[in-house]
Structure formats: structure tokens, C-alpha cells
């Protein structure tokens, strides 16, 4: 068993209280955590980096490694630069002299793993959804170069506004028109849905 296994696996409420308080949880740490979440960083990859650092043959006092070891490990586990956006901020937080303090790095990893960060996603913003709705011709929302106006455009605007007011996302609106739940909306189903919404074409 590795002589640093205790350092590599520490956890608990008391530990979290020590790393998540006003004295130590600064703006830089929050920015690191937020950036990692927004980039969909896999916590398992960071855990692998941590373990590789601890298992380094150049470990000093059970918690320090030289800077060149950090560079080697990042090159091996993040060949595509997954940590480029936050590396300098991480080094700012975990560097002790000329070495990387692995205890501080673990604190960042624990914050990333356990601190809840709300991520706002547009459930309708899916390239797969657009491909299905456009017969595999569009991967995103498209707009005409200019508003052509006219009665049809006004009716379509009314339909869109009504759908937004009535339903939270496009899935619920689609189910409203798909009366027999067969995954397709026929012209008759569409017309009946418009009648129920009191939209006349």
C-alpha cells in the first residue's frame, strides 16, 4: 500500500468545512471550479492526475513534487490541453516555493468534486434535435436574412409566442400536437392543435 494513501483519500464534513469557508475559499478558486465545470472537465481525469503526482518517485515530505513532475504528468494526462484555461490559476493556488503542494491541489479537487455548481443549459439547444426537426439539414436555429412580413409571418409569430407561453420546452409542445403519441405530427393533428389554441390559418 502506498505510504500516502491517507493523503490521497481524505474526505469528510470536517475536511470540507476547512476548505470551504470565507478565509480560504477565494475568488480564484471559485473561478477555477466554475471554469472546470463549464468545460465539462471529468473529475476522474483530475483524480488520475492527483494519483500520478502522489505516486511520483520524486515526492518530497509526502506532499510536495517538483514543478517538472507537474509538467510531465499534465503532458501525459492532458495531451489536448484540457487544463490550459486554468493551469496558471491552479499554480497560483498550489505552488509552494519551487514545488507543487499536493495537499492544496487535493483541496481544489475536493471543491470541484463536492461543491455544487448550478449549470444552466438550454434543453432545446441540441444539434440532434435540430437535425431531427429539419430532416437532417440543419444543426442549429436559422433565421431569414430579413423579415419578409405578411400575414403568414404574423401567424407564425403568434404560434411561436403561444407555444412559449404555454410550454416550457419544445418537447412538451410536440406532445401537444402528437395526439396519438406515434412520434409524428400529421397535418390533421397539427390543424386540430391550432384549432384548440384558437389560431386560425
Q: For 91-119, how does the pLDDT look when each residue is reduced to its tens digit (9 = 90+)?
A: 999 998 999 999 888 888 888 888 777 66
183 — alpha (psi -120 to 50), left (phi > 0) or beta? left
**Cell 513532475 maps to which residue?**
69
Which ranges of the chain would DSSP assign to H, the alpha helix?
5-8, 13-19, 27-38, 43-54, 67-77, 87-94, 102-114, 127-133, 150-166, 170-177, 187-196
The contacts of residue 168 (CB under 8 Å, 6+ apart) are: none
144 DSSP assignment: -
Contact 129, 175 (CB under 8 A): no
Exposure string of 100-114, with b = 16+ CB inside 10 Å and e = fewer, is bbbebbbbbbbbbee
Q: For 129-139, how does the pLDDT look when each residue is reduced to its tens digit (9 = 90+)?
A: 777 777 767 76
pLDDT given for residue 1 in this prediction: 35
What are the two backbone dihedrals, phi and then psi, of residue 54, each rounded to the nearest 5 degrees? -65, -35
pLDDT tops 80 at residue 46: yes
User: Region 162-166: what's the mean pLDDT?
Assistant: 80
For the chain, the distance separating the N- and C-terminal CA atoms, rounded to the nearest angstrom, is 75
CA 101/CA 98 separation, integer angstroms: 10
Q: For 167-180, how does the pLDDT look when each residue is reduced to its tens digit (9 = 90+)?
A: 777 788 788 888 88
pLDDT given for residue 66 in this prediction: 92
Mean pLDDT estimate for the chain: 79
Sheet with 64-66, edge to edge strand ranges:
64-66, 99-101, 95-96
pLDDT given for residue 119 in this prediction: 65
User: Region 39-64: what's the mean pLDDT?
Assistant: 86
Q: Quickly state the pLDDT bin for 67 (edges 50, 70, 90).
A: very high
Contact 2, 54 (CB under 8 A): yes
- Whole-model pTM: value is 0.53
User: Region 39-68: what's the mean pLDDT?
Assistant: 87
Largest alpha-carbon pair distance within the chain? 78
The grid cell for 44 is 476522474
**Cell 441540441 maps to which residue?**
126
CA 27/CA 20 separation, integer angstroms: 12
The grid cell for 200 is 386560425
Amino acid at each position: 500500500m502506498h505510504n500516502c494513501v491517507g493523503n490521497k483519500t481524505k474526505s469528510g464534513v470536517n475536511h470540507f468545512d476547512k476548505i470551504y469557508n470565507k478565509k480560504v475559499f477565494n475568488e480564484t478558486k471559485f473561478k477555477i471550479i466554475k471554469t472546470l465545470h463549464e468545460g465539462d472537465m471529468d473529475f476522474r481525469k483530475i483524480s488520475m492526475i492527483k494519483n500520478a503526482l502522489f505516486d511520483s518517485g520524486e515526492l518530497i515530505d509526502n506532499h510536495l513534487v517538483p514543478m517538472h513532475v507537474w509538467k510531465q504528468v499534465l503532458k501525459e494526462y492532458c495531451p489536448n490541453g484540457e487544463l490550459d484555461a486554468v493551469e496558471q490559476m491552479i499554480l497560483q493556488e498550489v505552488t509552494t516555493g519551487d514545488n507543487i503542494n499536493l495537499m492544496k491541489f487535493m483541496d481544489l479537487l475536493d471543491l470541484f468534486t463536492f461543491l455544487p455548481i448550478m449549470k444552466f443549459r438550454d434543453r432545446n439547444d441540441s444539434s440532434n434535435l435540430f437535425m431531427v426537426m429539419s430532416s437532417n439539414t440543419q444543426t442549429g436555429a436559422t433565421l431569414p436574412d430579413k423579415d419578409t412580413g405578411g400575414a403568414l409571418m404574423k401567424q407564425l409569430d403568434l404560434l411561436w409566442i403561444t407555444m412559449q407561453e404555454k410550454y416550457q420546452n419544445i418537447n412538451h409542445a410536440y406532445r401537444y400536437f402528437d395526439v396519438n403519441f406515434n412520434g409524428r405530427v400529421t397535418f390533421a393533428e397539427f390543424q386540430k392543435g391550432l384549432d384548440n389554441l384558437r389560431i386560425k390559418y
